[in-house]
Structure 1
């Protein structure tokens, strides 16, 4: 049986970045994802904010990984055609108590190496954001906090890993495993037994359970934290250009108001503890509360149509910091407790983990990496519909062409379910939420998805 150098368990944001880093470092990598496609767990519902780490704990591993991840993303974004919507962010104080807290946040940002933060008074806030509520008293401007495409970077990382020899296996939940002193034997229902010298646990919401099942113990406990979001119609995005951040609390970063790369306006997330690790449901009362918060911050959004609502789960633990542990005697590295900053920090986390691994298992780094170029999904840059020969407009709300659909269903990592197709093209994500294009998509994808779409009774493609 062929033995990989590294098995990465989980193809979320961190797992994709991990596979890329280890493949670029010359390791033979296999990725085991229990879902039908990448980002099928917690990572699919990220808020798409590229963080500077200005408010991370000073000197923490989290802060270092955010810093390194941000820098690497900015280095590779042009070669991979990854968009950045340059918005900046303001931490806004709405009460005198919050205004008093801005001093500490500013000092923390400077201690974290973010020296370009600026204090804005009420007049300067309104000059920058004229539609923001008059109750904004003061703010801390963080110029390099930006918005990105929440999904394309991680597909790019996995494609690059694959181009350098990584095997990507879906529907590959690890049922059991054993370590013989040299390598792990991992049993999966669909793909049988696989062997790898080292295992990197990037299983997100199930990371503690994987540690417990294969190691016999876990030194952390996942406590799922649900976040609900409201997405306003594209017309609302014209009301705001800066990410509006709250003054954080000990428990949560709070509710954010920002534009999306896809041309909408988003408010969320909430922070709700729950036991269920599989299901993230929305509820009307909470969504109405979010809309109320958005209207309080941005009164002009009142009455704007809501395009979508959704909820995601964050793999919080009983402690606030990242839970990364190397067990060299077992050839095992756990990457747990990676919460809302994980999207930005993923590349930095991967570098850090490889540093742990390289002390015991060095490889020869790839001399000339292949960089896949991603199709643009961001609204502020040219889209496929503006190019000749796109063939057919399949999703009219999001202007998704048949050429984009066909490309997403082909290639080395094609979409394997509707969620994967949505994350590769934006189809069904607009005002009608798929009402107008579902039947056509079902016809175009027939026989091509591992989880087939169903054609509504009596519908014609």
Structure 2
């Protein structure tokens, strides 16, 4: 076992509970502000909860409730991502989105959606007739009636972004405590936090615990102001040739409950369909449902009939931290030096940087920013920028489906945010995520990763 397992103790300015997308963005924000930050994560790796499953879209917030905190955070997060992504080495596929109406009722709803977009400051909306829609997306099914284009909706890498945020935090002094569950907390002059890996003190505590946010609030402040009931979203990933069927992100006319089923390319060169929306009580397990997935594929084939001749390469599901409220539940608890960031549903990837900005304004502490903050660059794993296999001396390709090199794997297994599980390694490199789902490379991976994971892939053979 090569990862450090000793308890982390000490005094911090800011302690963040949860290393999901939002927690990573908040850690970055406060580290760049000059705070001594610790991020506490009960899983063995980061992004292991709600953040591991999403549609990887950078949203403009055109369809968010006008005047909501969610809309403000999406807009701010969107703008900051486009400002900083190049310095961090993060990709953007500037493809735009189409909101497509599939019947007369949905077509009648398009003008109101355009008005909402204008109210949210997204004014470059382009209405499309049926003929214009067919011209830009000829593979659409015959029932497509009309649409409007949102040019600013983009595709990004959903895992490298939060990894980059946390890496920048670490390189500016933050510390990460993984495999550490918060078990108790007491407010004295500062907060005394008990975890399964030791005791910490912090001046400010931020609850970004995702699907467990209400339970963490009970530990911190003795009550919950909202209740999480996770909303499961199931996805179908089609093999890479299917990505040629579309150019835009295809969005449905949203309902009061969900944005609906999206069809889009991914940063990794596949075609994604989903998510579904099913509320459940289980906060940890997102089980796949064969019947629902079959219905999702039928809907995908109605949107793009040519999908009938394309193969599915993967199925997955994620849990979104839905609450009884439509807006985000972000609260600074008066007199407690504690901020709760809850109910961040499907828009967390787009809003994370904006949420971090907002949380910083709620903090009643000031810090001295570093004179020369570090700006690390993460290795690109997206399909639309140069990959490591295209560069010399990479040590050979281990995962041939996703063209993952030995150098990429070894880099991901070392350093301050080294992968400590196969799931974490997947999110850092794409290894085992292709057509064969690890059938061919798992044996070699078990040797390469020996001694690096808390739970080994397999016992190495002689």
> Is this contact kept in 2: 1:222–1:316, CA < 8 A?
yes
1:336 corresponds in structure 2 to 342
Q: Which moved more, 1:304-313 or 1:379-388?
A: 379-388
| Matched ranges for 1:112-261 at <5 A | 112-180=120-188, 182-190=189-197, 192-261=198-267
CA distance in structure 1 between the partners assigned to 2:370 and 2:244 by the alignment: 44
CA distance in structure 2 between the partners assigned to 1:252 and 1:368 by the alignment: 43
> Is this contact kept in 2: 1:10–1:33, CA < 8 A?
yes
2:10 corresponds in structure 1 to 2
1:432 to 428, 433, 436: 436
Unpaired stretches in structure 1, ≥5 consecutive residues: none
| Matched ranges for 1:310-321 at <5 A | 310-321=316-327
CA distance in structure 2 between the partners assigned to 1:79 and 1:348 by the alignment: 18
2:53 to 25, 45, 57: 45
CA distance in structure 1 between the partners assigned to 2:458 and 2:27 by the alignment: 33
1:274 to 267, 277, 280: 280
**1:418 equivalenced with 2:422 (yes/no):** yes
Deviations 1:142-198 (A, max 9, x none): 001011001001111101101111111101110111111x211111112x1111111
Alignment coverage as a number of residue pairs = 454
Deviations 1:243-296 (A, max 9, x none): 000100001111100000000000000000100001001011111111101100
Shift of 1:230: 0.2
**1:107 equivalenced with 2:107 (yes/no):** no
CA distance in structure 2 between the partners assigned to 1:460 and 1:176 by the alignment: 42
> Is this contact kept in 2: 1:394–1:400, CA < 8 A?
yes
1:384 to 379, 385, 388: 388
CA distance in structure 2 between the partners assigned to 1:229 and 1:76 by the alignment: 29
Shift of 1:214: 2.3
Unpaired stretches in structure 2, ≥5 consecutive residues: 1-8
TM-score by length of 1: 0.97
CA distance in structure 2 between the partners assigned to 1:405 and 1:214 by the alignment: 38
CA distance in structure 2 between the partners assigned to 1:288 and 1:30 by the alignment: 43
CA distance in structure 1 between the partners assigned to 2:151 and 2:142 by the alignment: 22
Shift of 1:460: 6.6
**1:460–1:141 Cα change, 3 Å:** farther
3-state SS of 2:263 partner: strand
Shift of 1:418: 0.4
Shift of 1:349: 0.2
Shift of 1:115: 0.7
| Matched ranges for 1:73-112 at <5 A | 73-112=81-120
**1:350 equivalenced with 2:353 (yes/no):** no
CA distance in structure 1 between the partners assigned to 2:461 and 2:178 by the alignment: 31
2:6 corresponds in structure 1 to none
2:5 corresponds in structure 1 to none
1:364 to 368, 375, 385: 368
TM-score by length of 2: 0.97
1:373 corresponds in structure 2 to 377
CA distance in structure 2 between the partners assigned to 1:65 and 1:367 by the alignment: 27
Shift of 1:450: 2.0
CA distance in structure 2 between the partners assigned to 1:366 and 1:352 by the alignment: 20
CA distance in structure 2 between the partners assigned to 1:67 and 1:280 by the alignment: 29
CA distance in structure 2 between the partners assigned to 1:204 and 1:450 by the alignment: 23
CA distance in structure 2 between the partners assigned to 1:160 and 1:101 by the alignment: 43
3-state SS of 2:297 partner: helix
Deviations 1:51-82 (A, max 9, x none): 00000011111111001100100011111110
3-state SS of 2:335 partner: helix
Shift of 1:328: 3.1
Deviations 1:5-34 (A, max 9, x none): 110000000000000000000111010000
**1:16 equivalenced with 2:24 (yes/no):** yes
Shift of 1:299: 0.6
> Is this contact kept in 2: 1:439–1:460, CA < 8 A?
no
> Is this contact kept in 2: 1:232–1:264, CA < 8 A?
yes
Deviations 1:390-424 (A, max 9, x none): 11210011010101101111122111100110000
